[in-house]
Structure 1
C-alpha cells in the first residue's frame, strides 16, 4: 500500500522520486509547504512547475518510472502482508528521519510500520565482534527493549545481528535498515533473523525490490539508522569501522552518541575510545543511555506516569502508589517489592502483558521510584541515615 493512495498511478508517480539527481532540498521544501505528501500529490499538476523547483527536478518528476521498476514494486507489495511504500513527508513517514539531514525521498517497509513513530535507539558495532561484544550488545538491546524502546540496527553480521536477536527474544521490537532491496537477503546467514523481524518488527530500506547490496549503499543505510534514532550506541568498533560512520552521521543529525569502552589492548575498542575522546558519552549500562535521554523519553513513552509527581526523595519513592495513577500502574506497583524481581514474574503477579509493562517500568525508573539491575526490578529503597 502507499499511505492513503492505493492506485497504480500513485505508486508509479512516487517511484519517480528514486531517480532524482542533484539537490533534493527544493522538492522536500515544496512537499512540506504543501502540507505533506498527500496534499502535494493531489496538487502536483499545479506545483510541478513551481519556481521553487529546479529545472532538473521538474524534468525528473515529469519522467515516468521504468515500467519494469513499477512492476517489480507492485509484485513485491502483493506478495506479502504488511508491506508499504512511504514517500517523504507522508502520514507515516518517520518524523525523526524527516527532520534529519538528507532524508530518503522514498522508503520501502515490511512489518509493523507503526514502529517508525516509536522512541528508538541504534545499537551498532563490529561485524566480527568478540564474545564479550556479543554479550554487551545483547545486554543493551534487552535493556532498551525492557524499557519499551525500539532497537534499530543494520542487520549486518556481528553486533547488529546480536542486537536484533536479543530484542526479539525478550520479546521486544526492532527495526532492521537494509542496504539492499527489501526482497534481498543479506548477509545470507541472517535469512531466518530477517524473516523474524519482518513478522514481529520492521524491515526498512530506501532501495526498491531487486536491488542487490553495494559498498556505497552501507553509508547511505547508516544515515537512516542514525536519523531514526534518539541516540546511537557503538559497541566494539575499529578505527575504520562503518559504525564510526553511523556515529558521525548521528552527531550531524543532532542526536546523542554513546560508546562502550573496552580493554586498552583490544583493537576492536579503538574506535569506541576515539569517540569518547571526541565527546561521545561513555556508557557501561543501558540505563546510562536511558537516563541521559530521560527528557526526550518522557515525551514519547506512553507508559510514563502521567500526572504523578516525581519522587524527590527515596522515602517518597518507597511510599504507596499515588491515588491518581492509572489502574495498571497501581497493579505493577503492588507487584514490586524490596527484592529484585525478574520481569516475567512481575507480569505474572500483575496480570499485565509485556507490551504494557516495559514502558510503565521505564516511567517509574525515570521518576526515581524503581531501580533495576541485570533485568530485575524493585522499589527504590530509602537511603539509610
Structure 2
C-alpha cells in the first residue's frame, strides 16, 4: 500500500490495515533487546501472525502517527509498505535466515518483480573495480535485468550510476530508514532512485531515530541479506578480507542464490575469501559469459 505522510488514516481493528501493521511492527522494534534474530524467531514461532497480533491497537496507532510525522519532517511525503501475509509481499524474502516482516519503499514496487542481480563490493573501491562494476551494470541493462545494490560509495554507486546512464532500472536497498541519506555524497542519487526507480528499506524508523550512532551499523548486514534474497544472485566485484560484502556472500550461499566472484579477486595475494566461497559453490567469473550462461 502507498501512504501519504501528509494525510491522516484510521487504524482499523477489524481488517488488515497497513497503518496498524506498520505501527505494530515499529512498536515491536521499540521493545528492549529486540534484534533481527529475536524478531524473526517471534514470527517463526507463530507463522501466521501479523505484527498487530502482538501489539495493542492503541499502541500501534500511536506509533504509526509518530512514524508518519517523523517521515514528513524528513521530506518523505509518499511511501509504501509491504507486510508479510498482507498484500504484495515478496515471498522470496522468506529464504533469508532472519526474514523481515515489513519493508518500506519509495518508487515503483513492480520493479522488484524484474529479473535482477546485485552488484556489490568495497566502499573504498579501486578505479578498476568501479569500471568493472559499471561495465557489468551496462551488460545487465542490455539483458533487461534490474541492477540492485546498496547505495554505498565505491562499487555500489558505480553500479547504480551506470545503470541509470544506460537507461536501465536500478533498485537500492539501503541500511537506513527512508528520509535518511547515507552516505551524504549519494543523496542526489538516492533521491533519483526513490523518484524514478525503487528504493527499499527494512530499517525501523523510530528505533533508528533513538539509537546512538555506533548502534546503527547493525542494520547494514541485514540489509545485505535482504538484497541477496530479492535477487537471483550477487556479483562481487572486489572486497577486502573483512568487508561487509562478505555478509552478502554468506547470505547468498545460505539462500540458494548464485554467487559470482570476479577473477580479479582471486588474483589478489592479500585475501583468501574468494577460494573459500568457490569451494562452497560460488562461480569464478573469468569472462562475462560465466555469468550469463549460469542465469539463462
Which residue is equivalent to 2:14? none
Which residue is equivalent to 2:169? 173
Pair 117,264 (structure 1): closer, same or farther in 2 beyond 3 Å: closer
Which residue is equivalent to 1:24? 42
Which residue is equivalent to 2:149? 153
Give the greater-gyration-radius structure (CA). 1
Structure 2 distance, partners of 1:61, 1:250, is 36
Report the Cα offset of residue 68 of structure 1: 5.4
What is the correspondence of 1:43-82 to structure 2 with a 5 Å cutoff? 48=53, 58=54, 60=55, 64-65=59-60, 67=62, 70-73=65-68, 76=71
Which residue is equivalent to 1:103? 99
Q: Which secondary structure state, in structure 2, belongs to the residue aligned with residue 89 of structure 1?
A: coil
Which residue is equivalent to 1:255? 257
Report the Cα offset of residue 140 of structure 1: 1.0
Which residue is equivalent to 1:192? 188
Assess if the C-alpha contact under 8 Å between 1:16 and 1:63 holds in 2.
no
Structure 1 distance, partners of 2:46, 2:2, is 18
Report the Cα offset of residue 88 of structure 1: 1.5
Say yes or no: does 1:232 pair with 2:242.
no
Structure 2: gaps of 5 or more residues: 12-16
Structure 2 distance, partners of 1:242, 1:135, is 20
**TM-score, with normalisation over the residues of structure 1?**
0.63
Structure 2 distance, partners of 1:186, 1:231, is 24
Which residue is equivalent to 1:291? 293
Report the Cα offset of residue 264 of structure 1: 6.1
What is the correspondence of 1:1-385 to structure 2 with a 5 Å cutoff? 1-2=1-2, 7-9=9-11, 10=17, 11-18=19-26, 19=28, 21=34, 22=38, 23-26=41-44, 29-31=47-49, 48=53, 58=54, 60=55, 64-65=59-60, 67=62, 70-73=65-68, 76=71, 83-209=79-205, 211=208, 214-262=216-264, 266=268, 270-294=272-296
**TM-score, with normalisation over the residues of structure 2?**
0.80
Report the Cα offset of residue 82 of structure 1: 5.2
1:220-250 per-residue CA deviation (whole Å, 9 max, x = no partner) reads 1111111111111111111111111101011
Assess if the C-alpha contact under 8 Å between 2:237 and 2:265 holds in 1.
no
Assess if the C-alpha contact under 8 Å between 1:111 and 1:198 holds in 2.
yes
Pair 26,68 (structure 1): closer, same or farther in 2 beyond 3 Å: closer
Pair 293,264 (structure 1): closer, same or farther in 2 beyond 3 Å: closer
Report the Cα offset of residue 12 of structure 1: 3.2
Report the Cα offset of residue 73 of structure 1: 2.6
Greater relative contact order (Cα 8 A, min sep 6): structure 1 or 2? Answer: 2
RMSD: 2.8
